[in-house]
Homo-oligomer: A and B are copies of this chain.
Amino acid sequence: MDFKQVFGERIKAINRELELSISSIENDRLRDAMLHYPKAGGKRLRPIVTMLVADAISKSGNTAMPFGIALEMVHNFTLVHDDVMDQDETRRGLKTVHKAYGMPEAILAGDALFAKAFEIVGGMDIDGDRKSQLTSLLARAVILLAEGQQMDMDFEKLEKVASEQYMKMIERKTAVLYSAAAQGGAITAGAPEPLQEDMFEFGRLMGLAFQIWDDVLDLRADEKLLGKPVGSDIRNGKKTLIMIYAIETLEEKKVERLLQILGKKNAIDAEVNEAISLLDDAGAIDRAERIASEMIAKAKMLLDDLPGNEDRKLLKELTDFMIKRDM
């Protein structure tokens, strides 16, 4: 699938609405800080999922778009706040919001993006009951995002993290916005509850696969496409599913060596490559790819509950794209 060609028009429409919504902020500094990440572009995967699900069910993609934009706002708000928490200075080559505008401004811009998300849902062209359902879905998603982020921070202090704990964490930190995207599309489209639940599960699997694929890309991708050095998860000592599995299964000596390199901020490329070889010895990267593929296959099966139209076909292609993308 040529992502840009297929979704280019939708992305343009999403970006237009996204920026328009933020432009109503009065204070220049606050508005600029809020626009910093949204203006840098992005694939807008979450709004696209919302729109495709709503289109597939009842051709209501445009009605559902604001909910997708609300999710994009929430996604951006968490990026802004996460960057403050992690004290990161750049994101995909761009200065982080707190580096460009100051820490207080970044906290505030995040809060205002969050509030805007709910304002957008309030302005949707649907009945009050559906709006209220979407609001609750959005609120629940952010609570889980916060739980996931706190788990992630807790993990940094732990020596060992179990695979199940990791999966629980990424379910909250990453998958939750995809499950909300798909379920939100179904709610807007007036789908019956069982279909809403299937779409939630579809989004959950898609989001999990997305994150696991992200971890794979960090080790295998082209540095230029990735926008950051290959193996940054190794240098940062991130306990991804890949690392956890390798630590659980490699022989003691190799684990020792791997742990020497993991988290070594100034590790040279040869060391990072050595760590990647050890992960390969454990078959950990291949295994992660396999797990992501299986999730994508299951997610696509759930899409068979949707009417068999062109939108469903596109949604299946998008689902496949999640583990084919190279950045």
Contacts and interface: CB of A to CB of B under 8 A. Distances in A.
A121 B150 contact: no
B154 A112 contact: no
Nearest to A121: B135
A114 B116 contact: no
B85 A150 contact: no
A104 B146 contact: no
Interface stretch (A22-30, A196-204, A249-257, A290-298): A22-30
Contacts of A27: 147, 150-151, 154
Main DSSP-derived SS at the A contact region = helix
Residue among A29, A110, A123, A143 having the largest count of chain B Cβ atoms under 10 Å: A143
A136 B128 CA distance: 11
Contacts of A150: 27, 29-30, 105, 108
Contact of A29 (B123, B133, B154): B154
A139 B127 contact: no
Contacts of A26: 147
A115 interface: yes
A131 to B, nearest CB: 4
A138 B123 CA distance: 13
A154 B142 CA distance: 29
Given A127-B128, A128-B133, 20 more contacts: A26-B147, A27-B151, A29-B154, A77-B111, A81-B108, A85-B103, A85-B107, A86-B104, A105-B150, A108-B146, A108-B149, A109-B146, A110-B111, A112-B146, A119-B136, A119-B143, A121-B135, A128-B130, A128-B132, A131-B135
